[in-house]
Amino acid sequence: MLTLGREVDLIWRSPWSPVKVFFLVTRYTPFFELAFLLWPLVTTGITPRECHLDYQLIGWTNITGIFFAEIILMLRTWAVFARRRSVGIFLIVWTIATWVPNLVTVGMFLQSLRYGPLPAFEDVRGVGCHVIAGSSILWVSWLMIMVSEAPVLAMMAYVTVKNYRMSKSSDLFNTVFRDGTIFYLYLFAFSTANVVVVLTTPPGLVNLLTITERMVHSILTSRIILSLRALGAQGHLGWSTFSADARSTSGELEYARRGEDYDDASARGGASAAESVAGGEIQRREA
């Protein structure tokens, strides 16, 4: 709720675009997940079938939110690299290669769960869903998320280190490079912790950090978009990152200095957006 005012000004009132949709899904689906989690706790006499359906909703809503958060982070990384075609192709292929097996793994895990009565506390028997068996394959899902994030983290770390000395004191550097890299480190650390939890805990506790990581994905990616849009709205270097530009094929990710000759900027080619920042110049994608 601390960012609600900024969300209304910078997201809700902006034109519709792909990243706006990604933001809304990532930011607000956790509220539905919370409702799905609380429902068994306030309802008595829940059957194993109802528990199965409830956990299916929680699981798929959870992984969908994380997926859209990862897409936002990859789009942002693509923009940092001046929307190079080669980088875009790599990110698309890498996303498919890591997320297809990830989604299959999640489906297998959810189908493996079995539910039964609570083992103790007779006064609350029949309240909530108690997992009595399930596969440990969920660790593969978190491993795939780690694998998905690893090269993007390396790419962001590279441009951050490369531009640190020249741009470390600017709001632009802090928002685009420093914060982005630190956020990726947080997410990578949570994915690592989830792998450890799944491999070392009983079936009923394999989701111990799942909701926490989902919330972290939602909070960090939302703050990235809000910070970038606020930076563009304030006119810092004329950047309007993740702006809703209907003329753009993606509707987002515009890096532009006001009044710059875009044809000349495109003709220079080769230089990344990070290099442009270091030189005090920002390139737009090729027309």
Would you call 131 helix, strand, or coil by DSSP?
Answer: strand
Angle formed by the axes of helices 18-38 and 48-80, to 10°? 150
Judge whether 174 lies within some domain. Answer: yes
Residue 69 falls inside a structural domain: yes
Q: What pLDDT, on a 0 to 100 scale, did the predictor assign at position 271?
A: 33
Looking at the domain assignment, is residue 102 inside a domain? yes
Q: Residue 176 — very low, low, confident or very high, per pLDDT cuts 50/70/90? A: low
User: Does 128 map to a domain?
Assistant: yes
Q: Give domain status of residue 218, yes or no.
A: yes
| pTM of the model as a whole | 0.74
pLDDT over 60 at 162, yes or no: yes
Inside any domain, residue 240: no
Torsion sign across C-alpha atoms 142, 252, 5, 223: positive
pLDDT tens readout for residues 31-80: 888 899 888 888 877 888 999 999 999 999 999 999 998 998 888 888 88
| Per-residue exposure over 236-271, b if at least 16 CB sit within 10 Å of its own CB, e if not | ebebbbbbbbeebebbbbbbbbeeeeeeebeeeeee
Structural domain of 208: 4-232
Residue 138 has pLDDT above 70, yes or no: yes
What pLDDT is attached to residue 279? 36
**Higher-scoring residue by pLDDT: 171, 65:** 65
Mean pLDDT, the chain, as a whole number? 75
Q: To 10 degrees, the CA torsion angle through 25, 26, 31, 34? A: 120
**Stretch 16-23: mean pLDDT:** 86
Query: What token pair was written down for 225?
Result: 């978009």
Q: What is the total count of domains within the chain? A: 1
Confidence at residue 238, expressed as pLDDT on a 0 to 100 scale: 40
Handedness of CA 85, 88, 94, 96 (dihedral sign): negative
Residue 24 located in a structural domain? yes
The answer as to whether 51 is a domain residue is: yes
